[in-house]
């Protein structure tokens, strides 16, 4: 059973604390993925079905939160039913919200097979439980975190001047204002106001420290003398470098092995951490027979932020494969895979294929230029530091029209395996001609050609990237 919850109105901000957030410089595009607090229920689920429902819940919420900053869902029936709620704080863009949610997801499997979990990150919140908690605004896990940085007498005076009865008078109720502090969207106005009053009372304990956070059952509040708010929360939706192309899931179910599911979650968490600073990451977690292996790689032309977004979407997409013993997903900007065995050296497999995009059919001159560009990338990528190459080939007989090609091998391959994978991929993909666009999705590599320029500026200083050939 899948029940979507309609959100109710929520409360606006206590203006006393907003005053403390106004500083000189604003941060840009920060998903704020720092872990603040993780709480796990000590009660254990009686059935492995609960873990399966948990994974389905995370995937459902991921789908919703890419459209909205908040999501709630209920999965399953009877004692295996699980409720979930997720919120991104209002200044995050759609892309940053996706990244924050993906990182938060990787924290929760450690709580399984517990029947409840709750995680606060600096930019988002997730809670799961085996009962309906959507209207709760206070609980035993409510806490406050004080930043041990500097003491600010000016902040102390300002906070005392704006709190107390003035705080209640200036706390208006308005759904459209999504700044900090904020309430979860499942609360009504009365519950939201009570939660914010509790939060403001507890957060004042942090004074005169220059930063404080109140982590409440139904709301979140933060103040600081450094501006952590993003300037623009509307940009970034629909990034073309993070669109899913194809997902494959292994056939074997691991319902009776919850240990593998836990190790899968830990492997994805480790990879997520690595991908925040690198375009590539692998992880191996657990012991046999529940050991989990994971790999993720962004194609060489992505920026760090684009890579973080793509790997976040890949992770939430792969959740749909668990609790199977393996899965892999190709996106337009990255690749991610997990399995219960070491696949890092594999470069060919039964699922290798080309995907032809039925856009427009081109002429012979286009076919010749496409083939030339594709085989140039096949030759260049295995020799490059990043196993990546991008080429632009001018189409003969035209003034300024070109065809573009890209090739990437996974970094776990050796040079010979990379070359073999790309040669095989190129032959299969060029079978798409004279269609104007094609992909090769292979076990150890990825290729694409198109009459549209999908090559971004070179973020890795790859020598082969973006060169034109005549």
- What pLDDT shows up at residue 67? 86
**200 in a domain, yes or no?**
yes
Q: Which residues of the chain have pLDDT under 70?
A: 1-29, 148-180, 231-239, 255-256, 456-470
Final residue in a domain of this structure, among 166, 197, 224 = 224
Domain shared by 201 and 256, yes or no: no
- Count of domains for the chain: 3
> Taking the CA of residue 463 as centre, how many other CA atoms within 13 Å lie in the half-sphere pointing to its CB?
6
pLDDT of residue 150: 63
| 152 and 195 within one domain | yes
48 in the same domain as 161: yes
Give the domain CATH number at 370.
Answer: 3.30.430.20
Q: What is residue 387's predicted lDDT score, i.e. its pLDDT?
A: 96
Last residue of a domain, one of 339, 369, 400: 339
- CB 290: neighbour CB atoms within 10 A? 17
How far apart, in Å, are the Cα atoms of 451 and each of 174, 275, 360, 374, 436?
Answer: 48, 30, 10, 12, 6
Q: Which pLDDT value is given to residue 348?
A: 96
- Would the CA dihedral through 201, 205, 210, 216 be positive or negative? negative
- Strands 388-394, 467-469: pairing is parallel
In this structure, are 218 and 281 located in the same domain? no
DSSP, collapsed to helix, strand or coil, labels residue 17 as helix
Q: Which pLDDT score, from 0 to 100, does residue 247 have? A: 96
CA 307/CA 175 separation, integer angstroms: 32
Tens-digit pLDDT profile for residues 189-213: 999 999 999 999 999 989 888 889 9
Do 179 and 260 reside in the same domain of the chain? no
pLDDT at site 233:
53
Say if CB 57 and CB 82 are below 8 A apart.
Answer: yes
**How many angstroms separate the CA atoms of 192 and 183, rounded?**
6
Q: How far apart are CA 389 and CA 376, in angstroms?
A: 8
The answer to whether residues 404 and 465 belong to one domain is yes
Q: Residue 229: name the closest of 20, 14, 2 by CA.
A: 20
pTM higher than 0.85:
no
Q: Are residues 335 and 357 in the same domain?
A: no
Boundary (domain end) residue, out of 285, 315, 339: 339
In this prediction, residue 151 carries a pLDDT of 60
- Same domain flag for 298 and 403: no
Tell whether 121 is covered by a domain: yes
Q: Are 262 and 310 in contact (CB under 8 A)?
A: no
Burial 69-93 (b: 16+ CB within 10 A, else e): bbbbbbbbeeebbbbbbbbbbbbbb
- List Cα–Cα distances, 420 to 40, 413, 423, 456, in angstroms: 47, 10, 5, 26
**Domain of 379, in residue numbers:** 353-469
Can you tell me whether residue 111 is helix, strand or coil?
Answer: helix
Q: DSSP for 160-195?
A: HHH-THHHHHTB---TT---SSEE-TTS-HHHHHHH
User: Could you give the CA distance from residue 170 to residue 296 in angstroms, rounded to a whole number?
Assistant: 48
Q: What's residue 458's pLDDT?
A: 52
């Amino acid at each position: 059973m899948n029940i979507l919850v309609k959100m109710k109105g929520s409360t606006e901000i206590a203006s006393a604390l907003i005053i403390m957030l106004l500083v000189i410089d604003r941060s840009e595009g920060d998903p704020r993925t720092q872990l603040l607090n993780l709480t796990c229920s000590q009660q254990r689920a009686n059935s492995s079905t609960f873990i399966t429902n948990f994974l389905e819940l995370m995937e459902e919420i991921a789908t919703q939160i890419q459209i909205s900053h908040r999501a709630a869902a209920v999965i399953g029936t009877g004692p295996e039913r699980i409720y979930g709620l997720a919120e991104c704080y209002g200044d995050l863009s759609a892309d940053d919200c996706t990244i924050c949610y993906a990182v938060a997801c990787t924290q929760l499997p450690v709580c399984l097979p517990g029947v409840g979990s709750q995680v606060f990150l600096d930019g988002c919140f997730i809670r799961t439980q085996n009962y309906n908690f959507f209207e709760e605004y206070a609980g035993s896990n409510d806490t406050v975190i004080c930043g041990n940085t500097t003491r600010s007498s000016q902040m102390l005076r300002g906070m005392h001047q704006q709190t107390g009865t003035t705080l209640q008078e200036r706390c208006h109720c308005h759904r459209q204002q999504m700044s900090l502090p904020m309430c979860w969207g499942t609360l009504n106005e009365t519950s939201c106001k009570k939660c914010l009053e509790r939060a403001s009372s507890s957060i004042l304990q942090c004074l005169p420290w220059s930063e404080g956070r109140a982590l409440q059952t139904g709301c979140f509040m933060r103040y600081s003398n450094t501006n952590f708010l993003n300037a623009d929360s509307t940009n970034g939706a629909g990034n073309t470098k993070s669109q899913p192309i194809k997902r494959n899931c292994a056939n074997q179910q691991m319902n009776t092995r919850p240990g593998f599911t836990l190790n899968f979650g830990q492997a994805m968490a480790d990879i997520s951490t690595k991908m925040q600073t690198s375009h590539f990451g692998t992880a191996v977690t657990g012991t046999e027979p529940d050991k989990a292996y994971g790999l993720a790689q962004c194609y060489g032309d992505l920026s760090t932020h684009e890579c973080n977004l793509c790997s976040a979407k890949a992770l939430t997409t792969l959740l749909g494969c668990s609790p199977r013993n393996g899965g892999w997903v190709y996106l337009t900007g990255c690749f991610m895979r997990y399995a219960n065995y070491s696949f890092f050296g594999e470069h060919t497999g039964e699922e290798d294929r080309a995907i032809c995009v039925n856009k427009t059919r081109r002429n012979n001159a286009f076919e010749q230029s496409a083939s030339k560009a594709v085989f140039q990338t096949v030759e260049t990528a295995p020799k490059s530091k990043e196993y990546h190459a991008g080429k632009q080939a001018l189409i003969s007989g035209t003034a300024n029209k070109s065809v573009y090609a890209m090739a990437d091998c996974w970094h776990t391959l050796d040079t010979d395996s990379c070359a073999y994978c790309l040669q095989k991929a190129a032959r299969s993909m060029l079978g798409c001609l004279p269609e104007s666009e094609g992909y090769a999705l292979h076990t150890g590599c990825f290729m694409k050609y198109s009459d549209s320029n999908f090559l971004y500026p070179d973020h890795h200083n790859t020598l082969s990237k973006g060169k034109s050939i005549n």
